[in-house]
Structure 1
Amino acid sequence: MGIEVGGILGLLWLILAIYAIVKIVGSSAGTGAKVLWIVLILLLPLLGLILWAIFGPK
């Protein structure tokens, strides 16, 4: 049995998305900003994570 690249990349995205969401929920940002970031990460997976990494954490 070989290791599928799509499976590994999907697992990596899932781990990063969960990490980002946990950091967002624990941040001091307002509720609207938190919801916006979480929706962005879930609807635009790669772009959302990149934008969050650049503009999200302070």
Structure 2
Amino acid sequence: MGDEQWYYCLKHHRAEQGKRCWFADRMGPYPDQATAERALEIVKQRNEREDARDSWEN
């Protein structure tokens, strides 16, 4: 594993292969560059889904 995985770097605002940046600045790992590039969109969709679920349960 390791360097072949992709991460989204919050500091540099881009997908990067491997653990180049500090762990607190990284999101991932993701299986490929295209998925890592969508990291913020993926998180937003997950948050919206969970918020909707929380409001439905309450």
- Give the TM-score normalised by the residue count of structure 2: 0.38
More strand by share: 2
More helix by share: 1
Q: Give the greater-gyration-radius structure (CA).
A: 2
- Give the TM-score normalised by the residue count of structure 1: 0.38
